[in-house]
Structure 1
Amino acid sequence: MPFDSITTYAIIKELNSKLKGSKVSKIYMPTKYEVVLHTFDGDKQMLLINAGSSTPRVHFIEDYNASMNEPYGFCMLLRKYLSGAVITDIEGYEFDRIIKIRFESINLLGEYQNLTLTAEIMGRNSNLILIDDESGKIIDSIKHIRPDNPLMREVIPKIDYEYPTKDRLNPLDFNEFVAADNIKSNAGRTLKSALMSTFNGISPIIFSEITSVLDIDNNAGVNELSKEDIENIIKRIREYFSGLDERLKYNLYRKDGNNKDYVCIDISSYEDMEKMTFDTPSKMIDTYYHDIDRLNRLKVVYKDVYNLINRSLAREQHKLELRRKDLEKAEGSEKYNIKGQLLLSNLHLIKKGDKSITVQNFFKEPYEDITISLNPALSPSENANKYFKKYTKLENSKKHLEKLIKDGEENVYFLESQSLYLERAKTYPEVEDIKSVMEELGYIKKKKKKHNLKKVKKLKFTTSDGYEIYVGRNSLDNDYLTRKFAFKTDLWVHTKDIPSSHVIIRTNNGTYSNEALELACKLCVYYSKAKNSSNVPVDYAYIKYVKKPSGMKEGKVIYTNNETVEVTLSEDDIKMIDKLSS
């Protein structure tokens, strides 16, 4: 659901009830097009204003990590003008997707100054603009717009602020004859399209809900409607919006465990979805965007880590592929040893200047003839030595390549693990842990320092029969759980040859239930790269059989005396773990 005019109307009501008279204490910008205002009036509030093209909106938020703030120029400007300012009013404009937050501040000369921060929540044209009320001029905006088309609105500092050009009507206050004429003027369009062109900021799903009681098809052409049909539609719209305050309900609709839509009224066509109702529009919107924002902000703040892991992984995989091809070539080294041996056995038959010789290959049963190429410039014994040297070189190369391939496989496994942990990360500290591991191993250039294992905030689950299960979120967590936290009699669980979190079952002196093992295996697959695969092999062994040799990378271990089961997660399993993890 886009942030439509009904949502805007509801947010303005909430902001007026909570922000009037409060003072701006802090201003941050977590990303290029997001502003967070901290206000205080007995109670602390945090207001998010997002003017990005993908998820524009305005609402209160529960938490914000200020340490991740970026020093954007627009943030510095807002701090200059609005720090310490008092919020005097919050207004809309013609029931459009515009929110005007009015401030009274004191300028550098000690004089009172009235300012308006205008949020235009209009998809890719969204913007956040600071305006001087006395002059009506733009001080600055989060996006500068210098359009090539002269008919488009310009938004740059020091020019007069103008509202987005609209000829649509306010559904709270409109002339019925004008509305009817506007609908009729869209004769070549559908009713739904005509209504959206006539009235401000109403989404198709809202118009469908409004007109559903009229038994009129929204996809019908306007020219198919009678004068009475149009009059009934206009009457219904006026009736609906005149009672809008009583209709407001803050609903989040979910399907198959995923957020699908949010809307500030009941939607009859969504009856087959799970509905969560909130007491404020901010809580509804914040819940809807919580996971989306988490991933977007983490990727923005830590884009260097994401890019580094992806580049490093691609490079290691390419190197590994080349080394495996070289090893395939080196595997044929034995044929050069055989040729050298055959030449030594037949030196008396070779003359200097011969280009080849055909002899019996007694290394094969039954014997067969083999033709061996010779360098005519070399003596018979030198030709034999040439083949021995090539054999020795390839044998040495095989040993070196085998070591490089083993190291490369470990590097790929490690980087795939870090990529998995980044995908699962929910907080900045989790990504910081991953970054710290990358620094220690030299993937990120920084002065190396010893990272001591410490107690971490691990994921904990408890079965119905009382067994505790712990899941690591990253390499540091995994090392801590396996090396420091778990007892020798606890059970260690991990996907076989697939990056995943380490899972620990806290056993009762080595005993555990089938339920605990089943849940641990499911958790292991859920927190792995094979979450959506079938018949995933999962190994489990007691901790006393799990070792970490010196020099092995973070989160990597070897183990013995293990057993293996195959696990396939069902949709119900995923929903169950989603619920347990939240």
Structure 2
Amino acid sequence: MPFDGLTLYAVTRELKERLTGSRIERVYQPAALEVILVCRRYREKYHLLAAATADAARVHLTETDRRNPAKIPFFCSTLRRHLEGCRVSEVAQPGLERILHLTLTGTDAAGRPVTYRLVAEIMGKHSNIILVDAAENKILDAIKRYSHALSRYREVLPGQPYVPPPPTGKKDPREPGAEEFTVALTAYGPATEVAAAIQRTYEGFSLFSAREVVCRAELPPDVTLGECGVYEYRRLYAAFRDLVTGVTQGTAVPALVVANGLPVDFAPFTPAQYGGEQIQGPLNRLIDRFYTIKAEITTFRTQKQRLMETVSREIKRLNRKLDEVTVLLDDPDADRYRLYGELLMANLYRLEAGAKEALLENFYLPTLPLVAIPLDPALTPAQNAQRYFKKYAKARAARAYAAQEKERLEEELAYLSGVTTAIEQAGELRDLDEIAAELAEQGYLPARPPAPKERKAHPVPLQLSSTEGYTILVGKNNRQNDYVTFRLAAPGDIWLHARGVPGAHVILKTGGQDPSPQALAEAAALAAYFSQARGARSVPVDWTRRANVQRPKGARPGFVTYTSEKTLYADPAAAAALLHRSGATPAAPDPTE
């Protein structure tokens, strides 16, 4: 739901309990329009997030770790200079506006008492975070600065007086009686939907909250004012009063609406307009979970698209070069140049200097057909022959180079085809990050500078249990493939891979013993499922002992050779049940690392 005034009221209630009297330890700005205040109260530490993004403006406590930029933004520096060491004396919301005031007290560099007010305005694309000197009502800085050139109502610039956003003119929903409620709604035309009338009339209500009133009144969601009589208005007012009282007095139970395991909405009350699963709990925690998962999904899709575009672009470039190389290999000029030179040398006695063409018999063919050979009149017949031999040598060298280049291009295309499969089948952002790191190492992406004190994380392959209790490891990309094969697998374990197509390295941990047919079939199904042949019904899968798998020197990530293999056929669809039943988990790290 939109982060409306009712939501902010419930959030503010929780923030008052946790932040009042806390001390600001640190300020971070992990994104251009996001700020985090680290607040400590007694032994508890809280992270207050304020975001001014157009599509996700909000204020709430967060437990999600965020990566901070290497260079500290200027607004963050301003907040650190003024706020670190201050104490939160008040958390307030003016009325039911989408504005939060965080009042902080401390001392300046000279030891004099100062009071600051951090204002979070949650208003869609007009959202802002503004630091104000409370004593003078003067703006010290804002995360979004703008002048009268952008807004005729106010300027948000350092040194200017702070002017709140223009009033909405809406009524306070905590005040009206039943009669006033009815009169306020009937001021709109009879064709107006009830939910829209409530949203336009009362402060703090988004369209979602207004529809909740209609739903609790047991009326159709699109009911209009003209369809309502005394009975309907009585039910609407009762639902309206129940909703407002529940939120403002803290008796309403916040809820997170979940569908297919993913959060789809949240509310400061338990929404009756949604069926299905709902998770109840503190609103700050529910909002944090909602936006964290939403950000992860957005980041996952963006990263996946970026990687696919990068790899697709490289594949197109390599295919163009491969076409050029193939044309060079199929070029018949090299053999023709050699023939011209040999025919000229064999017939020097018949040729005259200055001729533009020589018509000679091709003695390599039994019919002795005549061959027309272009000549340079400025050269002697012998020099013309040498000219063709030089062209032949050059064309033959180009053909040899083209053969080597074709092999290199086909190898690189096979590698990128495997990367494409890994990207398509990636299920977590962590998988995409590993692929991005690999592409950076191979030069396809610019290398990302490591963060200070950042340790290189090991790959995290899947770990499953077979029906009989065998441990199965699955590498979902090239880095994971190398990791499970050469770090996690013992020489006597079983190694599996779909034959002839890019896919996962699968390890069946047997402790050197022969695997059972069922465990081998399940591991083969996983190898088929995590391969380019996932859509097939029957996929050939090679398997051998891990000791028979080698990585050639200088090979690209994920490339191996193997011997003593056997082949069985597996249905990729059989892996889905195993994945669902066992619950895939990250494999344990290599203890030697």
| TM-score of the two chains, using structure 1 as the length reference | 0.80
Partner residue in 1 for 2:258: 253
Partner residue in 2 for 1:43: 44
Cα distance in 1, alignment partners of residues 10 and 67 from structure 2: 27
SS in 2 for 1:135: coil
SS in 1 for 2:559: coil
Partner residue in 1 for 2:291: 289
Query: Do the aligned partners of 2:148 and 2:155 also contact (CA within 8 Å) in 1?
Result: yes
Partner residue in 1 for 2:9: 9
Matches within 5 A, 1:378-417: 389-411=390-412
Structure 1 residues 68 and 457: alpha-carbon distance in aligned structure 2, compared to 1, 3 A threshold: farther
Query: Do the aligned partners of 2:472 and 2:506 also contact (CA within 8 Å) in 1?
Result: yes
255, 265, 270: which one pairs with 2:269? 265
Cα distance in 2, alignment partners of residues 196 and 112 from structure 1: 43
Matched, 1:144 2:138: no
Structure 1 residues 315 and 269: alpha-carbon distance in aligned structure 2, compared to 1, 3 A threshold: closer
Partner residue in 2 for 1:92: 93
Matched, 1:328 2:326: yes
Cα distance in 1, alignment partners of residues 527 and 36 from structure 2: 37
Matched, 1:71 2:72: yes
Structure 1 residues 388 and 117: alpha-carbon distance in aligned structure 2, compared to 1, 3 A threshold: same
Q: Any unmatched runs of 5+ in structure 2? A: 450-454, 587-593
Query: Do the aligned partners of 2:506 and 2:527 also contact (CA within 8 Å) in 1?
Result: yes
Structure 1 residues 79 and 410: alpha-carbon distance in aligned structure 2, compared to 1, 3 A threshold: farther
1:88 offset after TM fit, Å? 2.2
SS in 1 for 2:257: strand
Cα distance in 1, alignment partners of residues 506 and 77 from structure 2: 46
Cα distance in 1, alignment partners of residues 517 and 415 from structure 2: 31
Query: Do the aligned partners of 2:525 and 2:570 also contact (CA within 8 Å) in 1?
Result: no
Structure 1 residues 198 and 519: alpha-carbon distance in aligned structure 2, compared to 1, 3 A threshold: farther
Cα distance in 2, alignment partners of residues 357 and 437 from structure 1: 58
1:162 offset after TM fit, Å? 0.8
Q: Structure 1, residues 58-108: CA drift from partner, whole Å, max 9, x if none?
A: 222224256656511111111112112212232223223332222222222
240, 258, 283: which one pairs with 1:237? 240
Matched, 1:563 2:567: yes
The one-letter amino acid of 2:108's match is: N
Structure 1 residues 432 and 90: alpha-carbon distance in aligned structure 2, compared to 1, 3 A threshold: farther
1:525 offset after TM fit, Å? 6.9
1:327 offset after TM fit, Å? 2.0
Query: Do the aligned partners of 2:216 and 2:272 also contact (CA within 8 Å) in 1?
Result: no
SS in 2 for 1:246: coil
Cα distance in 2, alignment partners of residues 454 and 193 from structure 1: 51
Cα distance in 2, alignment partners of residues 249 and 13 from structure 1: 12
Query: Do the aligned partners of 2:463 and 2:584 also contact (CA within 8 Å) in 1?
Result: no
SS in 2 for 1:270: coil
1:21 offset after TM fit, Å? 1.8
Cα distance in 2, alignment partners of residues 531 and 138 from structure 1: 61
Q: Which moved more, 1:62-71 or 1:17-26?
A: 62-71
210, 214, 217: which one pairs with 2:213? 210
Structure 1 residues 572 and 524: alpha-carbon distance in aligned structure 2, compared to 1, 3 A threshold: closer
Q: Any unmatched runs of 5+ in structure 1? A: none
Q: Structure 1, residues 177-221: CA drift from partner, whole Å, max 9, x if none?
A: 665455344426433322221223434343333212545444344
Structure 1 residues 581 and 92: alpha-carbon distance in aligned structure 2, compared to 1, 3 A threshold: farther
Partner residue in 2 for 1:61: 62
Q: Structure 1, residues 17-42: CA drift from partner, whole Å, max 9, x if none?
A: 22222211121111111122222221
550, 553, 556: which one pairs with 2:556? 553
The one-letter amino acid of 2:558's match is: G
Structure 1 residues 348 and 557: alpha-carbon distance in aligned structure 2, compared to 1, 3 A threshold: same
| TM-score of the two chains, using structure 2 as the length reference | 0.79
Cα distance in 2, alignment partners of residues 286 and 531 from structure 1: 39
Cα distance in 1, alignment partners of residues 313 and 14 from structure 2: 52
Cα distance in 1, alignment partners of residues 245 and 482 from structure 2: 62
Query: Do the aligned partners of 1:210 and 1:236 also contact (CA within 8 Å) in 2?
Result: yes
Q: Structure 1, residues 455-502: CA drift from partner, whole Å, max 9, x if none?
A: 766543333422222344765544333223322222334456666554
The one-letter amino acid of 2:80's match is: R
Cα distance in 1, alignment partners of residues 510 and 109 from structure 2: 67
Matched, 1:118 2:123: no
Q: Structure 1, residues 234-273: CA drift from partner, whole Å, max 9, x if none?
A: 4431233223333323223123x443223333334432x4
Cα distance in 2, alignment partners of residues 141 and 335 from structure 1: 71
The one-letter amino acid of 2:283's match is: P
SS in 2 for 1:241: helix
Cα distance in 1, alignment partners of residues 308 and 500 from structure 2: 20
The one-letter amino acid of 1:287's match is: R
Cα distance in 2, alignment partners of residues 153 and 536 from structure 1: 68
Number of aligned positions between the proteins: 567
Query: Do the aligned partners of 2:27 and 2:84 also contact (CA within 8 Å) in 1?
Result: yes
Cα distance in 2, alignment partners of residues 310 and 296 from structure 1: 15
Structure 1 residues 403 and 53: alpha-carbon distance in aligned structure 2, compared to 1, 3 A threshold: farther
Cα distance in 1, alignment partners of residues 381 and 522 from structure 2: 70
Structure 1 residues 415 and 262: alpha-carbon distance in aligned structure 2, compared to 1, 3 A threshold: farther
> What's the RMSD between the two structures over aligned residues?
4.4
Structure 1 residues 355 and 570: alpha-carbon distance in aligned structure 2, compared to 1, 3 A threshold: farther
Query: Do the aligned partners of 1:29 and 1:69 also contact (CA within 8 Å) in 2?
Result: no
SS in 1 for 2:205: coil
Matches within 5 A, 1:422-437: 426=429, 431=433, 435=437
Cα distance in 2, alignment partners of residues 5 and 497 from structure 1: 59
Cα distance in 2, alignment partners of residues 359 and 81 from structure 1: 96
The one-letter amino acid of 1:166's match is: T
Structure 1 residues 24 and 416: alpha-carbon distance in aligned structure 2, compared to 1, 3 A threshold: farther
Query: Do the aligned partners of 1:15 and 1:90 also contact (CA within 8 Å) in 2?
Result: yes
Structure 1 residues 383 and 191: alpha-carbon distance in aligned structure 2, compared to 1, 3 A threshold: farther
Query: Do the aligned partners of 2:466 and 2:578 also contact (CA within 8 Å) in 1?
Result: no
Cα distance in 2, alignment partners of residues 435 and 343 from structure 1: 54
Structure 1 residues 467 and 544: alpha-carbon distance in aligned structure 2, compared to 1, 3 A threshold: same
Partner residue in 1 for 2:108: 107
